[in-house]
Amino acid sequence: MTAQTLRDLLPSASGRTVVVRSDLNVPLDDGRVTDDGRIRASLPVINELAQAGAKVIVLAHLGRPQGTMNPEFSLAPVVERMRQLTDHPVILAEDVAGPASQQAAQQLDSGHVLVIENVRFDARETSQDHTERSELAHAIASLAGDQGAYVNDAFGAVHRKHASVYDIASFLPSYQGPLVATELKVLDQLIVEPQRPYTVVLGGSKVSDKLAVIDNLLDRADTLLIGGGMAYTFLKAQGHNVASSLLEEDQLPVVKEYLQRSAAGAANIVVPIDTFVADAFHQDADHAVVSVDAMTTGPGGADALGLDIGPETARLYAQQIEASATVFWNGPMGVFEMENFATGTKTVAEALTRVNGLSVVGGGDSAAAVRAFGFSDEDYGHISTGGGASLEYLEGKALPGIDALTN
């Protein structure tokens, strides 16, 4: 069964209340949005509905407030940024489907936007109990009235069986938003007959976060380039001394298995040949570039920390990326937030802009990195709005938020 889309809803949207699940989980610093990429990505569907005369109610989460009203995770800074980016009036209700939301929904005018507070302020949003989630979903759906509708445009949340993502679709006519549709279309190009050569670049801190996607892509991709903290588990599995670098000892057996599969004809797994090591996890720490065979010879000695792929590795990775027709990248190559250890991530980000084919930045830290380096979204074929959801889809897992729209 195919999900209904926003195109199916728009002709009848005027005067109706439409609940939109958006992904507004953006980074904040001192109460200010530091990367508004997800806000900008979420606004088109909101604007289109408001322009069509709908009364728009936006649902979103921010961080993990553990089911309590924590001002640190309020959507107020997000709403302030939304007001700067749209011509439609945007109101913030200070509760989740409580009296403030109910009153604001009743008074909402066509073409106006109501954002209800962080849905995770209500513990029922993420409850494992179906009844509890359904209670919250019903309360939110009730804000829309008898002619209400629901649009899921939050791809970054579709892998969660949460009240505002999954259960609410049982109470309102439901539609797939354009962000979700675009994500699925792009990701399908990565797993269904991708253009070759097909290279996957994986980084980030923990190899355990990427095991399932590695397992699935080993038989689909041509090359896997490994960086970030997870690279040191691969290096250890090859017999290298990684000093005090990030290491998941319990994952060594499965990593060795992946390396064996690669050697037997699966995708070619490429690991760093040089690395930046430092004597402390700090921007100004004493650091140097060393071969991965000599990590204990640099600053820190036996206690050295590997914090970025080295320049020779970055050069080789860039060559591989630029020679590919399809590239998927998820996870930084080093601690890119620190200037001294950002070279690998920046080199990969720049190489992806030169891909003559499909280049996909897999959300999360990778998306934040390309923007921090000054690259534009238009420099890439696609920047995912959902890192975790993207990985689970590439792992072959069912996504509850997608299933809810077709059930």
Based on the residue annotation, tell me whether 300 is a catalytic residue of this protein.
no
What domains does the chain contain, in order, with CATH numbers?
6-176 (3.40.50.1260), 183-395 (3.40.50.1260)
Residue 374 is a catalytic residue: no
**Which residue among the candidates 21, 38, 124, 371 is catalytic per the annotation?**
38
Look at residue 1 in the predicted model and tell me its pLDDT.
Answer: 61
Query: What are the Cα distances from residue 283, in Å, to 287, 307, 312?
Result: 10, 10, 21
Residues 6 or more apart whose Cβ sits within 8 Å of residue 65: 72, 73, 118, 120, 121
388 catalytic per annotation: yes
Q: Which of 227, 298, 362, 364 is catalytic?
A: 364
Instruction: Specify the pLDDT at position 2.
Output: 79
Residue 61 in marked binding region: yes
Say what the pLDDT of residue 389 is: 86
Structure-block tokens of residue 160: 């969660």
364 annotated active-site: yes
Residue 207: predicted pLDDT = 85
User: For the chain (length 407 residues), average pLDDT per consecutive 10?
Assistant: 89 97 93 90 96 98 94 97 97 96 97 98 97 98 96 94 97 96 91 94 90 92 97 97 96 97 97 97 95 95 97 98 97 95 97 96 84 91 85 88 89
- Position 271 scores a pLDDT of 98
Query: Per the residue annotation, which of 40, 53, 98, 206 is the catalytic one?
Result: 206
The whole model's pTM is what? 0.86
Tell whether 282 is in a known binding site. Answer: no
C-alpha 360/C-alpha 131 separation (Å) is 38
Structure tokens at 21: 């699940």
Q: 35: annotated binding-site residue? A: no
Q: Is 62 annotated as a binding residue?
A: yes
Tokens of 130: 């179906």
Q: Are 341 and 335 in contact (CB under 8 A)?
A: yes
16 appears as a binding residue in the annotation: no
